[in-house]
């Protein structure tokens, strides 16, 4: 197994070809670096970027008097003041430019009928019409435009079906990486002084998610193993409304933040419009985190419908028929699977990984030569992300990461990936992919982990269940050592699950432990045993780093360099 090692040399290695990784590759290539853009799936086809629905948030001011500063203000307030203001500021200020970049790469955004202005749509939490878009295909169009541009650069080498497993680091910073060429079942030793991690989120750690199925948080786990700081491991966003039925659609978001703006209504099994009870004034006009919690409550307190969801009623929306025809994938397709789109049974689904790798405004992690961009990064959106801000983050920080990675590579002497480190990673991989395991198959353990995380570290948490999750994760980690695998070399699907599981188990422990530390409720983090928001004690972030075998946790106060008067937008119960 994995007996041959192929050598790869590159100035910059970018892990992940979604929006963030592809943008980073283009930028690094424009600075003349030789770039390797690796993805564990097929480039263009893999990643969550394709799935992004509609909004790309950028304050162009084409629909109204919007400014990047207003965008920044909304982002911080909706983040419940936990966002890193420096990162959010850069995202909002650079957002409009990234819209133009994408247009240059070939994405022809929807425009006003006379063609002079971009169309900008409203979304909850945004004070202005901010979402440029390509109807229901925005993510796909962004991904396509970026890969088309990538292909125009001869110095970008696209490497599909390559699973990166480790970043090699010594005292001077990044010195290489190791991966598995899935098609050949061969090890790759990659010599490089600059690595950009752009592997997306970790939705698959939870049982129900609308993310692409490769979203297993590999890059976050890799950065952690390499010794980088992670931030906000407890923060995970759920999208309030996703199909619960039929089974084949479970977890797929009923995808339009616009629906809320247009006036959808939510009912429980008793036909009560329950949001009136929680928020008599705003009703359904609440951010994702609060809607998710209210829906989850209805369900767990026994007011859920037939398949364990609540009813999303679209009959009150005048424009619905137009929207339905405009977005066949969202509405007409589910009809073919038996859904009545006038009244859809829905429940929250895992949607976005808010925590992740800590970076500064130069997209640098705490390890020299290691950069990160996109959903893999933590703290840009604090405790709640606004619609459309994810793609913007990818493009803005992808550009910055690509530039800095190239500049470092071009000014540092290249050297081969240290052999001893490559050997050590081979050794580790033999443990992750045992040849003679007799235990359960990886998929079964994978499912158990996802189940435990969804129920114990999901939308509503308490200390007892969080501790139970930590224990369960430890048991599964023990079990995974003797996992039983198919014995084939070329594209072994079970290897992928075992590799992913290894990182997911690491992350699950951090997610649950972080959630237990935060003894308050804020945004996406809701503790039944600490239901109040606590600005006095918890206007801080949780951080974690690995030192040897130890996990070291600490907290740091949120700094408020630009907006300092902490005011909440919604009447959340607080201390």
Partner 1 sequence: MINQENAPKNGKPLQVNVLRYDPESGGAPYWQTYTVPRRRASRVLDVLEYIQDELDPGLGYRRHICHNLVCHSCYVNVNGHARMTCQALIKPDVAEIRIEPYGDFVPIRDLIVDYAQPR
Ligand X SMILES: Cc1cc2nc3c(=O)[nH]c(=O)nc-3n(C[C@H](O)[C@H](O)[C@H](O)COP(=O)(O)OP(=O)(O)OC[C@H]3O[C@@H](n4cnc5c(N)ncnc54)[C@H](O)[C@@H]3O)c2cc1C
Q: Which residue ranges make up the site for ligand X (CB under 6 A)? A: 15-21, 38-41, 46-49, 51-56, 138-139, 162-164, 198-200, 210-212, 214-215, 218-219, 253, 255, 351-352, 374-376, 388-391, 394
A 10 A CB-CB count for 436 gives 8
- Sequence-distant (6+) residues with CB within 8 A of 427 are none
Element (H, E) at 146: helix 138-151
247 contact choice in ligand X, partner 1, none (CB below 5 to 8 Å, kind-dependent): partner 1
Q: Can you give the length of the chain in residues? A: 575
Q: Tell me if 325 contacts partner 1 by CB under 8 A.
A: no
Q: 500, 433 in Cβ contact below 8 A?
A: no
Stretch that binds partner 1, among 72-80, 328-336, 410-418, 523-531 (CB under 8 A): 328-336
C-beta of 517: minimal distance to ligand X in Å?
Answer: 25
246 contact choice in ligand X, partner 1, none (CB below 5 to 8 Å, kind-dependent): partner 1
Q: 343, 313 in Cβ contact below 8 A?
A: yes
- Alpha-carbon torsion, ordered 74, 78, 84, 89, to 10 deg: -10
Q: Tell me if 214 contacts partner 1 by CB under 8 A.
A: yes
C-beta of 133: minimal distance to ligand X in Å?
Answer: 8
Question: Starting at the edge strand that comes first in sequence, how are the strands of the sheet with 194-197 ordered?
Answer: 156-159, 35-38, 12-15, 194-197, 370-372
C-beta of 359: minimal distance to ligand X in Å?
Answer: 13
C-beta of 564: minimal distance to ligand X in Å?
Answer: 27
394 contact choice in ligand X, partner 1, none (CB below 5 to 8 Å, kind-dependent): ligand X
Q: Tell me if 161 contacts partner 1 by CB under 8 A.
A: yes
Nearest to 388 by CA among 74, 146, 85, 100: 74
Q: Tell me if 493 contacts partner 1 by CB under 8 A.
A: yes
Q: Which is nearer to ligand X, 150 or 539 (CB)?
A: 150
Question: Between 435 and 474, how does the x/- string for binding to partner 1 read (CB under 8 A)?
Answer: ------x-x-------------------------------
Q: Which is nearer to ligand X, 13 or 558 (CB)?
A: 13
CB burial of residue 548 (10 Å; 0-12, 13-18, 19+):
exposed
Binding positions for partner 1, 28-47, rule CB under 8 A: 40-46
Q: Tell me if 208 contacts partner 1 by CB under 8 A.
A: no
Is the sign of the CA dihedral 127, 131, 136, 142 positive or negative?
A: negative
Element (H, E) at 336: helix 332-336
Q: 288, 570 in Cβ contact below 8 A?
A: no
Coil, helix or strand at residue 8: strand
C-beta of 281: minimal distance to partner 1 in Å?
Answer: 34
Q: Which is nearer to partner 1, 47 or 125 (CB)?
A: 47
Tokens 């911080």 identify what position?
76
Token pair recorded at residue 171 = 């005292």
Q: Tell me if 336 contacts partner 1 by CB under 8 A.
A: yes
Backbone angles phi, psi at 400, to 5 degrees: -65, -45
CA–CA separation, 575 vs 569, rounded Å? 16
Q: Tell me if 152 contacts partner 1 by CB under 8 A.
A: no
Stretch that binds partner 1, among 70-78, 206-214, 394-402, 556-564 (CB under 8 A): 206-214
Q: Which stretches of the chain bind partner 1, using CB under 8 A? A: 40-46, 50-51, 137, 139-140, 158, 160-161, 183, 212-214, 246-248, 252, 329, 333, 335-340, 441, 443, 486, 488-491, 493-494, 496
């Amino acid at each position: 197994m994995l007996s041959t090692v192929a050598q790869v040399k590159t100035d910059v290695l970018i892990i992940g070809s979604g929006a963030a990784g592809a943008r980073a590759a283009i930028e690094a290539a424009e600075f003349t670096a030789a770039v390797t853009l690796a993805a564990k799936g097929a480039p263009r086809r893999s990643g969550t970027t394709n799935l992004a629905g509609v909004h790309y948030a950028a304050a162009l001011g084409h629909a109204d008097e919007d400014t990047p500063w207003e965008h920044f203000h909304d982002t911080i307030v909706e983040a419940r003041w936990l966002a890193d203001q420096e990162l959010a500021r850069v995202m909002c200020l650079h957002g409009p430019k990234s819209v133009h970049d994408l247009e240059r790469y070939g994405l022809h955004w929807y425009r006003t009928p006379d063609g002079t202005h971009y169309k900008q749509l409203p979304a909850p939490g945004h004070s202005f019409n901010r979402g440029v878009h390509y109807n229901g295909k925005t993510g796909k169009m962004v991904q396509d435009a970026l890969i088309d541009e990538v292909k125009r650069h001869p110095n970008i080498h696209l490497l599909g079906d390559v699973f990166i497993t480790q970043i090699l680091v010594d005292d001077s910073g990044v010195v290489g990486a190791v991966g598995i060429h899935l098609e050949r079942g061969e090890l790759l030793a990659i010599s490089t002084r600059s690595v950009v991690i752009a592997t997306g989120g970790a939705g698959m750690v939870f049982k129900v998610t609308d993310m692409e199925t490769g979203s297993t948080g590999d890059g976050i786990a890799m950065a952690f193993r390499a010794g980088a700081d992670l931030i906000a491991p407890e923060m995970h966003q759920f999208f309030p409304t996703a199909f619960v039925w039929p089974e084949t659609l479970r977890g797929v978001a009923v995808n339009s933040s616009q629906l809320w703006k247009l006036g959808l209504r939510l009912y429980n099994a008793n036909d009560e419009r329950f949001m009136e009870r929680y928020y008599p004034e705003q009703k359904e006009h609440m951010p994702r985190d609060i809607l998710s919690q209210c829906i989850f409550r209805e369900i767990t307190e026994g007011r859920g419908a037939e398949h364990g969801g609540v009813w999303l009623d679209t009959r009150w929306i005048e424009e619905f028929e137009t929207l339905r025809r405009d977005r066949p994938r969202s509405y007409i397709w589910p009809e073919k699977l038996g859904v009545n789109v006038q009244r859809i049974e829905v429940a929250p689904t895992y949607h976005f990984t808010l925590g992740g790798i800590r970076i500064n405004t130069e997209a640098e992690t705490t390890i020299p030569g290691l950069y990160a961009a996109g959903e893999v990064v933590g703290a840009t959106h604090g405790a709640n992300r606004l619609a459309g801000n994810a793609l913007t983050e990818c493009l803005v920080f992808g550009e910055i990461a690509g530039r800095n990675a190239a500049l470092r590579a071009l000014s540092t002497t290249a050297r081969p990936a240290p052999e001893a480190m490559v050997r050590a990673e081979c050794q580790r991989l033999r443990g992750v992919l045992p040849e003679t395991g007799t235990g359960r198959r990886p998929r079964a353990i994978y499912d158990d982990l996802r189940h435990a995380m969804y129920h114990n570290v999901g939308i509503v948490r308490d200390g007892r269940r969080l501790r139970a999750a930590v224990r369960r994760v430890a048991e599964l980690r023990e079990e995974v050592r003797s996992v039983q695998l198919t014995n084939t070399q070329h594209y072994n699907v079970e290897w992928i699950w075992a590799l992913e599981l290894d990182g997911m188990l690491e992350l699950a422990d951090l997610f649950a432990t972080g959630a237990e530390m935060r003894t308050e409720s804020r945004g996406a983090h809701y503790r039944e045993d600490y239901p109040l928001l606590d600005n006095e004690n918890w206007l801080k972030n949780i951080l974690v780093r690995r030192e040897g075998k130890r996990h070291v946790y600490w907290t740091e106060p949120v700094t408020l360099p630009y907006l300092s008067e902490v005011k909440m937008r919604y009447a959340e119960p607080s201390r």
